[in-house]
Amino acid sequence: MLVSELSPSEYNPFYHNYVLSVGENTLLVELEEGRDRLISFLENLSEDKLGYAYADGKWTLAELLVHIIDAERVFQYRALRFARNDKTALAGFDQDVYVPQSNAGARSRQNIIDEYRAVRESTLSLFRSFDDEALKRVGIASGSEMSTRAMGFIICGHQAHHFKIIHERYLDQA
């Protein structure tokens, strides 16, 4: 399944730029390559950069990385519910409530790497288990219809979006 096969009707317009940021690989390849890119980046990141925020009131790099993990968990859960044909509408989540509770500032680089790797491997395992029918199933999240496969590409695009921000606002300034 390629991102170009998605219809904009399969996801909330809020996620359109995330979907556009995904390359033209299959979903599983995008998930694997995104994993490899982020882990490689983190393994080469100096521990002292984790506490850096590019402006007052902005998240630290550690908080941003934990946000990527938290959001992937939420999106993964939505994908599971949709794939299993659960028609219960799912509420949104408030990232600005999650981040201060994440304890990101007390976490080591290795701890963040380990959690990210575990979550992404779980995402890969989940999406590998879906057949074409499950990938096309639709559920409701945050008041919008979304497909299982769109959730997979949103996971990829969300990470790509923040990876770009990391390079533009955190690394060039720190």
> Which pLDDT band, with edges at 50, 70 and 90, does 173 fall under?
low
pLDDT at 106 over 80: yes
Tell me how far the alpha carbon of residue 23 is from its chain's centroid: 15
pLDDT at 142 over 70: yes
Report d(CA 56, CA 98) in Å as an integer. 18
To the nearest 10°, report the CA torsion of 149, 113, 61, 167.
-70
Q: Which two tokens stand for residue 70?
A: 């938290």
- Looking at residue 23, its pLDDT comes to 87
Q: Express each pLDDT in 115-124 by its tens digit.
A: 999 999 999 9
Of the candidates 135, 163, 132, the one whose C-alpha atom is nearest the C-alpha of residue 147 is 135
pLDDT at 174 over 70: no
| Mean per-residue pLDDT, 42-66 | 96
Find residue 2's DSSP bridge partners: 26
**Total residue count of the chain as it appears in this document:** 174
Q: Express each pLDDT in 151-164 by its tens digit.
A: 999 999 999 999 99
Q: Is 140 helix (H, G, I), strand (E, B) or coil?
A: strand
| 163 CB neighbour count, 10 Å cutoff | 17
Evaluate whether 153 touches 27 at the Cβ level (below 8 Å).
Answer: yes
